[in-house]
Amino acid sequence: SAGQPFGPLTVGAAMGAVAALAVAAVLGYWTYALASLSYALDRNGLVIRWGITRQVIPLEAIERLVPGTAVGVPRVRGVSWLGYHIGRARIPRIGEVLFYSTHQAPEEVLYVMTTERNYAISVPDPAALARQIEVRQDLGPTAAVTHHVERAFAPLQGFWADRAGWLLAAGAVALCGAVWLALAAQYDGLPGSIAVRFPLREALPLVEVNAKSVLLAIPRAATVVLAIDLAAGIALYTWDRTVAHLVLLAAIAIEIGFLVALQATIARA
């Protein structure tokens, strides 16, 4: 923090603060998504809204409605708190089910089985909703509706669901953190003024004497480049996931380059 000597404790505290902010952002979004969870029904379809995601289900695609009391309610993989269940589960008599539910008891759950995917929703009176769906199916649609998912901020949604992308991004972030920690671990042992040589391999390099704080420019640059690479990689999810992965791989390579450059600069200082 400002006014504190640069060292491992300072860097560790800053990293902890950033991690806490990231966790708070995720929890904040989940809270917002819970508040926005809703179901809309008309003659054309059933729409499930959760946060920035909307699942659009054509009414004609609904084949069966099964109450939770008939087949039970399993543990949900995903966000699964008391009264908040968003994720997937497998039920022997139904198969894979996507949960958008705030149930606390099986009688609050209604399984919506369609030609493409199965859903679990929670309403105060599942039997009444089932009757409303059947009535609207008998009336027929007023417009053509396809089974699809609508997402705001599609690139972020694509990244969120991609485990490989998460691992690549986490690797780049970890390497950027390693650059900061490597400098922090050696910073106190460096002389107050250091000779920065550029380029490193020249027989008669250009030498400039600076305060050792000039070395902070390396992890700062690594952080800025990381932010740019992450933003570019996530943005590319709307175009091509493979290209996005390549950008994230490049971010890892660049962070390794910063780490090597830092160690070489310190060794020659």
Q: What pLDDT shows up at residue 237?
A: 85
More confident site: 238 or 107: 107
Q: What confidence score (pLDDT) does residue 197 get?
A: 61
Query: Is the Cβ–Cβ distance between 44 and 142 less than 8 Å?
Result: yes
Range of lowest pLDDT (100-114, 129-143, 188-202, 244-258): 188-202
DSSP output for 123-141? -S-HHHHHHHHHHHHHH--
CA angle 161, 164, 166 (to 5 degrees): 65
Q: Give me the chain's average pLDDT, please.
A: 88
Does the pLDDT at position 155 exceed 50? yes
Range 70-93 burial, b when 16+ CB lie within 10 A, else e: ebebeebeeeeeeebbbbebebee
Confidence of residue 46 (pLDDT cuts 50, 70, 90): very high
- pLDDT above 70 (res 13): yes
Q: What is the pLDDT of residue 196?
A: 66
pLDDT of residue 205 exceeding 60, the answer is no
pLDDT at 264: 87
Task: Check whether 200 has a pLDDT greater than 80.
Answer: no
Q: Quick check: 65 pLDDT over 50?
A: yes
pLDDT of 97 reads 96
pLDDT by residue (tens digit) across 214-236?
Answer: 889 999 999 999 999 999 998 88
pLDDT value of position 201: 57
Neighbours of 251 (CB within 10 A): 25
Q: What is the pLDDT of residue 1?
A: 45
Asked if pLDDT for residue 194 goes beyond 80, the answer is no
The predicted pLDDT at position 57 comes to 95
Q: Which amino acid is at 75?
A: R
Burial bucket for residue 177 (CB in 10 Å: 0-12, 13-18, 19+): buried
Q: Is 118 helix (H, G, I), strand (E, B) or coil?
A: strand
